[in-house]
Homo-oligomer: A and B are copies of this chain.
Amino acid sequence: MVAGLPATTPFVGPEALERRIGRTIELRLGANESPFGPSPLAIEAMQKQAQSAMNYGDPEGYVLRTEIARLIGVGIENVSLGAGIDELLGLCCRLFVDPGSRIVTTLGSYPTFDYVASSSGAVLVRVPYHNESIDLGALADSARRSGARIAYLANPDNPSGSWHPNDSLAELRRGLPGNCVLLLDEAYCDFAPETPPIDPTDLQVLRLRTFSKVYGMAGMRIGYIVGHADHIRALDKIRLHFGVNIVAQAGALAALRDPQWVADVVTKTTMGRAELGEFFRGLALRPLTSHTNFLTIAVGSRAYAEAILDALLRHGVFIRKPGHPPLDGCIRVTIGRPEQRARFEDIFRQVLTEI
């Protein structure tokens, strides 16, 4: 099976780009890593825990799962930890997919999902973006037509930055065929105006969340999944029980106990996003509406977007761009700290004169 998979990776890391161009990346604004870092409480907890790195982390993640369950109002039996949403997406595919099963997603949405779904043996059915946003109606239609076992939706979405309110998601849920599980990737949900209520009795929705974005812990590999206890128990049959590292568990627990940090990051991000949007509009470029910690900007054409990326990289600025139409004429920039944005804007202006 693996022999038939393409030799592609979802993303090239900035470190590989540094090696390629032979210089250091000065502005790392391509992977939507939080420029504000983890909460100081989380850093302190991780530094303390590093001294006990010889011990395996609790395979049940009991303390952290208990705290997560309390905060979101479900039982501990509805929560499982994973080494980030990526790992949990892969496990879900293995859970629900038989060779040849259909999985519905959006063409050009989070490429790592396509990567893990393909390697599970599933066949991907990809619905195009509509008006630069996820087409919920087409997702449900496609799931029904193809008899999909899984529908994947990132809400807010990456790389478009678009978002759907609760009532639209409820309608999507009603439109799903009975055998189809919605994997609702909420990596960026902290930046959204609202998030659907969680119903842990619903066998057809699994919610995936992460400490990688607003919590500023992408490098730690920790996320969680929330859903029906039957699914959580099924994951227990295939997950790596000791796979979530002990430092990440300690950091995540401390991070949950610093909600003010999260609120501040959201405020600063929202403000920075508005300012960055103004900047691009001032250059006659068109930022898409974003409910995330990044901004996606239509610059005119794929070739022009790629030229911008290359030129920025020569100046030591790492950003990324969507790979598929209709968004392939866009670039995507993580919202940085004020001094990073100022520096980015200087370099970006310079780059436009060069290409």
Contact = CB atoms under 8 A, between A and B. Distances in A.
30 contacts: A2-B95, A2-B238, A11-B59, A13-B241, A15-B58, A16-B58, A16-B59, A28-B55, A33-B55, A33-B56, A35-B54, A38-B53, A43-B53, A50-B50, A53-B218, A54-B217, A55-B218, A55-B219, A83-B83, A86-B240, A86-B243, A87-B240, A119-B237, A218-B242, A219-B246, A220-B245, A220-B247, A221-B221, A221-B242, A245-B245
Contacts of A52: 37, 219
Interface string A17-40: 001000000001001011111100
Interface string A48-90: 0111111111111010000000000000000000011011001
A98 interface: yes
Interface in A176-220: 212, 216-220
A42 B49 CA distance: 13
A350 interface: no
A9 interface: yes
A260 to B, nearest CB: 17
> What is the predominant secondary structure among interface residues of chain A facing chain B?
loop
Given A58-B13, A95-B2, A245 B233 contact: no
Count chain B CB atoms within 10 A of each CB in A34, A55, A62 and give the residue with the most: A55
Q: Which residue, of A35, A36, A242, has the highest number of chain B Cβ atoms within 10 A?
A: A242
B237 A221 contact: no
A263 to B, nearest CB: 17
A168 interface: no
A250 B251 CA distance: 17
A62 B55 CA distance: 26
Interface residues of A, number: 71
A284 interface: no
A267 interface: no
Contact of A83 (B55, B58, B240, B251): B240
Which 4 residue pairs are nearest across A and B when measured between Cβ atoms? Answer: A219-B246, A54-B216, A15-B58, A46-B50
B243 A5 contact: no
Contact of A37 (B2, B16, B53, B244): B53
B87 A243 contact: yes
A62 B2 contact: no
Contacts of A246: 219-220
A237 B51 contact: no
A355 interface: no
A27 to B, nearest CB: 13
Given A38-B53, A53-B43, A5 B240 contact: no
A282 interface: no
Contacts of A12: 59
Given A2-B95, A13-B58, A60-B13, A53 B217 contact: yes
A219 B56 contact: yes
Nearest to A219: B246
A283 interface: no
Contacts of A43: 50-51, 53
